[in-house]
Each structure stands twice: as C-alpha cells, then as structure tokens.
C-alpha cells in the first residue's frame, strides 16, 4: 500500500521492503534504484532527492546512475584499452603505420618499466611520463623519440574525447625529444646526383634522376608505371590541360613491402596525390629508358625487379649506396633523393607553396624540414645582392 506524504510516495512491497518514488522536474515519476529495509532509509532518500530539486542541480536517478557507471568505466580504462578500443579504430592508418604503432606500443609503452599501458588512463601523471621516459634506453634516441611522440598523440586523443582534462605527456622544456635535425641529411649537388645516377646499373639510372629531380618517395618511385607518364600534351586528360602540361608524371599510388608480398595504396597523405612536371632535360633519357628497361604494357612498371614485380627497397638501397660512393657520398641512402628534390626546387626559386604542391607535403613545416641550401647558394645570393647594391649607386 502506498503511503502519501508531503513530497514523494512510499510503498510497502509484499517483500516488506520499502519503495520510494517521486515526480521529478521533468514531470515523470522516478523510482529509487534500490528498495529499503527501513522506512526511514526510504524517507532519507526522498529528502536528498528533494534537496537536489530545490537546488536546481537535479538530474534523474537513472541518468546519475548511468553517469556513475560511465565514470567507473573511465576510472578503470587502462591506456592500453583506450588505444585498442577507442583511439586506433578512429584513425585511417596505412598498414605500415599501423605496424609501426603496434611495435612502439609493444616495445616501449607496454614493455618499459613503468608499464604505462597497464595504468588506468585517468591516473597517468606527468611524473609517470617522466619516469617512463627516464627508463627508456637513451642509446636509442630515435626509437625513444618516436615512442614519446606516439604517447603524446594518444593522450591528445584522450583529451579530445574528454577522458582527460590535460595531456600528461609533457617533458621539461630542456629535454631533447627530437634527435635528428633536417641538417643531418645533406642533399646531393647536381653533380653528385648525376654521378650517382651514372654509377647505377643502367636499368636504375633513371630512378635516381627522377627521384632526385622530382623528389619522389621510394614507394612512389617504385610503383610508377608507363600509364603514369604524360610525355605528350595530347595524352593529358582534357580537363587538366590548363594546369598540367607535358612532360609530367602523375603520382597517385605508393607501394610498401608487407609479409608475403607488396601492398599498393594511396600516398601517405591526400596532398601526396599530385602532378609533377618533369625538367625537360630528363625527357630524352626517360624515353630511352622506356624503350630498354621498363616493363611492357600500359601498366608496366618503370623500374621492375630483374625477375619482374616490384623492386625491393633494400635491393635498391644497396646499389644506391655503392653508386653514391663514386660521388664521395658513401653513407648516402635513397632518402637523400627526396631532400635533393625539395632543395633543388627551392634553389630554382620555388616558394614553400610550390614545394608543398610538387612534393606532396601536407604542411609548410614539412617542406621546410626537407629544404636545404644547396652548395654554392650563398655565393649566388651574394652576387644577387651585389647587383641590387650596384643598382642603388646609379
């Protein structure tokens, strides 16, 4: 039987326990989430609900219970759970990037002491992050830096989802996280580029020249096909002829080595899909290469492996480093070609925007990272300044 009172209603159940309910601010009846042994306990619950209504802080008991459970779940959510359940699934990662992230998680974020992956996400403090950073092998600065950057990005994701108020992955300002500067990679001079290309096997000579003059990533270079080349203006799609002139090549794919073979996919970023105009001096050699070395057919690879298919990056790198010795650059790797392409564009008068468009950079910072002053450039600048000075004297 229900027992009426000034606020709410009490009801004695057949089990002899008490049920409490009331009409809330939403004009709906709300029942206590539990029943009570003593009538006084039921009345106390109603009194607390009345206080919430009078204060203006009221939400329904069901909503508060849901919020409590959600908070409990947030409090118990580990960093590892957050990454696997809530963060990674929202990212559109290339397979290679996904594998890199998993390797960093396994070897550093889960594997180091303290094991950050096992800690509740909400409990991780700056002190925890600093202890983790200090525990990592300082003799491997690149891996250490990449692991920290991943952790920082993960925590930013947690802040975006309002699971954290601030990002705890912050180190003291004096701590050096970035360990490699752009100046660590010295671009080829034009002479070094040509010498290295001439020292390569003939079938790969053009790969070095295209890589250097056009600044292509190796994955883009090794996936180039005959159908990507437009050496005749007539072959350029009609809708693009106003902004694309031959000779040019179209970059729309890259290839990476995966377990069991190769995987072809889009470039690393949307900006990577682009048209790259070819310096005219490359065209005669490129036409000769197509006759002698490229695979047959419209979709034949420009630089196939000797037995067909894609050329393994390691195979190209070995040949490249050996050839670069002829240019007095015995430690050069194929990645120097991308730096060379950006730096040559800069030396030719290209703006940051030109470099971004030509090399598929998503941000100005990335173009600046690759751009270097070419050897002899300062002398050229001095000559131009002198001409300006002479003009002022007149």
The catalytic position among 30, 144, 205, 217 is: 217
63 burial type by CB count under 10 A (0-12 exposed, 13-18 middle, 19+ buried): exposed
Question: Quick count: other Cβ atoms within 10 Å of Cβ 45?
Answer: 21
Range with the poorest average pLDDT among 15-29, 215-229, 380-394:
380-394
Mean local confidence (pLDDT), 282-304:
96
Q: Is 335 a residue of the active site?
A: yes
Mean local confidence (pLDDT), 169-193:
73
Task: Band the pLDDT of 297: cuts 50, 70, 90.
Answer: very high
Q: Is 217 a residue of the active site?
A: yes
Q: Which pLDDT score, from 0 to 100, does residue 234 have?
A: 76
The DSSP string of 153-185 is HHHHHHHHTTS-SS------TT-------GGGS
Do the domains spanning 77-180 and 187-379 agree at the CATH topology level? no
> What percent of the chain has pLDDT above 90?
48
Q: Which of 67-76, 205-214, 340-349 has the highest mean pLDDT?
A: 205-214
The catalytic position among 108, 274, 361, 372 is: 361
Residue 228 reports pLDDT greater than 60: yes
Residue 309 reports pLDDT greater than 80: yes
74 or 238, greater pLDDT: 238
| Residue extents of the structural domains in the chain | 2-75, 77-180, 187-379
Q: Which pLDDT score, from 0 to 100, does residue 187 have?
A: 92
Q: In the predicted model, what is the mean pLDDT of the chain?
A: 86
The catalytic position among 338, 346, 359, 372 is: 338
Instruction: Evaluate whether 247 touches 230 at the Cβ level (below 8 Å).
Output: yes
Nearest to 128 by CA among 138, 116, 144: 116
The catalytic position among 152, 203, 253, 335 is: 335
Provide the CATH number for the domain formed by 187-379 in this structure: 1.10.443.10
Judge: domain 77-180, CATH 3.40.50.300.
no
Q: Is 22 a residue of the active site?
A: no
Residue 107 reports pLDDT greater than 70: yes
Q: Is 144 a residue of the active site?
A: no
């Amino acid at each position: 039987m229900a027992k009426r009172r000034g606020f709410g209603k009490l009801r004695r159940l057949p089990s002899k326990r008490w049920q409490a309910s009331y009409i809330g601010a939403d004009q709906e009846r709300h029942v206590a989430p539990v029943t009570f042994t003593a009538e006084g306990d039921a009345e106390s619950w109603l009194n607390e609900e009345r206080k919430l209504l009078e204060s203006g802080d009221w939400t329904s008991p069901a909503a508060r219970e849901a919020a409590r459970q959600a908070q409990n779940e947030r409090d118990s959510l580990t960093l590892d759970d957050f990454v696997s359940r809530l963060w990674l699934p929202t990212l559109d990662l290339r397979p290679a990037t996904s594998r890199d992230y998993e390797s960093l998680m396994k070897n550093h974020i889960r594997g180091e002491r303290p094991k950050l992956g096992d800690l509740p996400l909400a409990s991780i403090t700056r002190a925890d992050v600093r202890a983790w950073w200090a525990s990592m092998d300082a003799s491997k600065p690149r891996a250490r830096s990449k692991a920290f950057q991943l952790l920082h990005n993960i925590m930013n994701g947690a802040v975006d989802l309002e699971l954290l108020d601030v990002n705890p992955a912050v180190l003291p300002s004096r701590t050096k996280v970035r360990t490699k500067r752009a100046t660590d990679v010295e671009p080829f001079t034009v002479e070094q580029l040509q010498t290295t290309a001439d020292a390569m096997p003939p079938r790969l000579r053009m790969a070095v020249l295209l890589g250097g003059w056009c600044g292509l990533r190796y994955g883009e270079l090794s996936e180039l096909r005959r159908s990507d080349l437009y050496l005749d203006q007539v072959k350029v799609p009609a809708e693009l002829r106003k902004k694309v002139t031959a000779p040019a090549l179209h970059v729309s794919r890259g290839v990476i080595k995966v377990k069991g073979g190769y995987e072809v996919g889009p470039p690393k970023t949307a900006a990577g899909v682009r048209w790259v105009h070819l310096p005219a001096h490359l065209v005669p050699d490129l036409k000769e290469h197509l006759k002698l070395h490229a695979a047959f057919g419209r979709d034949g690879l420009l630089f196939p492996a000797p037995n067909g298919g894609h050329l393994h990056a390691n195979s190209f790198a070995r040949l490249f480093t050996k050839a670069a010795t002829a240019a007095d650059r015995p430690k050069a790797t194929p990645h120097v070609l991308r730096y060379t392409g950006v730096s040559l564009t800069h030396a030719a008068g290209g703006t940051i925007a030109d470099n971004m468009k030509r090399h598929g950079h998503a941000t100005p910072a990335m173009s600046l990272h690759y751009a270097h002053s070419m050897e002899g450039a300062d002398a050229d600048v001095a000559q131009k300044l002198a001409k300006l000075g002479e003009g002022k004297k007149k």
